[in-house]
Amino acid sequence: MEKEISQAVISRLPRYFRYLEELRLSGVERISSQELSKLMKVTASQIRQDFNNFGGFGQQGYGYNVEFLYQEIAKILGLDRKHNFIIIGAGNLGRALGNYLNFERRGFLFKGMFDQNPDLIGTTVRGTTVMPMEELEDFIRNNDIEIAVLTIPKTGAVSVADRLASCNIRGIWNFAHVDLNLPGTIQVENVHLSDSLMKLSYNLTE
Amino acid sequence: MEKEISQAVISRLPRYFRYLEELRLSGVERISSQELSKLMKVTASQIRQDFNNFGGFGQQGYGYNVEFLYQEIAKILGLDRKHNFIIIGAGNLGRALGNYLNFERRGFLFKGMFDQNPDLIGTTVRGTTVMPMEELEDFIRNNDIEIAVLTIPKTGAVSVADRLASCNIRGIWNFAHVDLNLPGTIQVENVHLSDSLMKLSYNLTE
DNA sequence: TAGATTGTTAATCGATTAACAATC
DNA sequence: TAGATTGTTAATCGATTAACAATC
């Protein structure tokens, strides 16, 4: 797009989206930045600045139409499209994510699961059979896979990420506890659970 | 402590910790901020500023002793202590976290699991029997529980969080997709997986 | 001692908040 | 029209980077 939106803004969008969905479900039609500000505990100024990064969604003297704003943010976040994803690593976490139905509701479609462990290959997760790693590249190419979820130990993660990079994968949702250095064309979103737990631990210690 | 450390700094500590552990395991004895800077792809300036929030860990002309720095960061993050935790919500994600052995290695000890679903109560997760929600408060008080991991749907999360607040819980690791508004004495660390996925989705869309 | 590298101050950059004119 | 509230510019605040004197 025109000028780059800062990641600080992007990080706040899902939270706006969540509140707007709730407002919408409870039948609220319009909301001012000030009301939303009280609800979300952020400044009204920030709300207006954030939304204005994407053009004017509001109307002076009225505020924002909840339904419209909800839909616009959905579009910005790419939730108006389908995203096919696979999960690599059929361990506890991988299976938990495969079974999480809410992702479907947002347009993220679970298409397949891979593992290198012969004991896991052939088992099923929500109707999908776990495939061997050898079939990874072909599957991605033939099934229009956009996102790979990495739920494998960090030892294997870097080489698997390189294999993903060599296919047409667009994004990696990385749960492996290691930094992936990939070309800028591939988006990596890290979820480092133990980092998060350590942050909590720090704050407890204070 | 003296002056408040910004959360931006705290968020970077686990990553430093991870790199230092690797350096340590590969037998590296000392490292300069510049070398670490290249490795981690952050500025050397930031590294020195970050460490100096906690006092001088380095030595002019020498750099930082890897082992010492590693231990110091562990202490800052509270990893030199044991932290007892329970998991509330014995669904896929809860069980996956209960089975994750690396937390133990860092001093986070899995002490118990709770659920309201009668079908899950009595089942075992890594040697621990899932308990009914009625026993929550007593168990927390009698077992010196510091952290509660919330892996339940958002509908129940707020009321459970209030119950946790009424016991002596110190921190909540919140995987429920809702904001918990609790007294400032209780630390809340959120892991909003779908927010993270939406961020990835946004970056793919660009 | 000379060289290296920290600790720390100063400069810059970016993000947040405040203010207010535009406008519905 | 008067009141409300946005969109947007300006001011502030905080975080990052640069620079360099202190010192090992």
Three-state helix/strand/coil letters over chain A: CCCCCCHHHHHHHHHHHHHHHHHHHCCCCEECHHHHHHHHCCCHHHHHHHHHCCCCCEECCCEEEHHHHHHHHHHHCCCCCCEEEEEECCCHHHHHHHCCCHHHHCCEEEEEEEECCCCCCCCEECCEEEEEHHHHHHHHHHCCCCEEEECCCHHHHHHHHHHHHHCCCCEEEECCCCCCCCCCCCEEEECCHHHHHHHHHHHHHC
Q: What is the pLDDT of residue A205?
A: 87
What pLDDT is stored for residue A206 in this prediction?
77
Determine what percent of chain A is predicted with pLDDT higher than 70.
Answer: 99
Q: Which candidate in A197, A199, A205 is best for mutational testing of the B interface (most B CBs within 10 A)?
A: A197
What is the reported pLDDT for A140? 98
Instruction: Determine the average pLDDT of the residues in B37-41.
Output: 97
Residue A144 has a CB neighbour count (10 Å cut-off) of 12
Share of chain B above pLDDT 90, in %: 94
CB contact under 8 A, A199 and B100: no
- The answer to whether residue A175 scores a pLDDT higher than 70 is yes
- Separation between Cα atoms, residue A90 and residue A63, nearest integer Å: 47
Q: Which amino acid is at B100?
A: Y
Q: Mean of the pLDDT values across residues B11-20?
A: 98
The confidence band for B205, taking pLDDT boundaries of 50, 70 and 90, is: confident
In this prediction, what percent of chain A has a pLDDT beyond 90?
94
pLDDT by residue (tens digit) across B113-143?
999 999 999 999 999 999 999 999 999 999 9
pLDDT at residue A62 is higher than 90: yes
A66: pLDDT strictly greater than 70: yes
User: Quick check: A51 pLDDT over 60?
Assistant: yes
Provide, in whole angstroms, the distance separating residue B106's CA from nucleotide D12's C1': 41
pLDDT reading at B1 higher than 50: no
Q: Taking CA atoms, what residue in A is nearest to B22? A: A178
Average pLDDT, chain B: 96
pLDDT at residue number A37: 98
Strand D positions within 7 A of protein Cβ atoms: 2-9, 14-19, 22-24
pLDDT score recorded for residue B168: 85
- Partner residue facing A197 (CB), from B81, B99, B103: B103
DSSP 8-state class, residue B181: -
Hey, are the CB atoms on A205 and B170 less than 8 Å from each other? no
Where is average pLDDT lowest: A3-7, A56-60, A115-119, A125-129? A3-7
Q: Does A55 or B144 have the greater pLDDT score? A: B144
pLDDT tens digits, A141-153? 999 999 999 999 9
What's the pLDDT band for B4 if we cut at 50, 70, 90? confident
**The pLDDT value given to residue B69:** 98
**Confidence check: pLDDT of A69 > 60:** yes
Whole-number Å distance between alpha carbons of B89 and B80 = 28
Q: What is the pLDDT of residue B56?
A: 86
Chain A closest-CA separation from residue B65 CA (Å): 22
pLDDT of residue A56: 86
Which domains, and CATH codes, for chain B? 7-75 (1.10.10.10), 83-195 (3.40.50.720)
| Partner residue opposite A203 with nearest CB, options B91, B187, B192 | B187
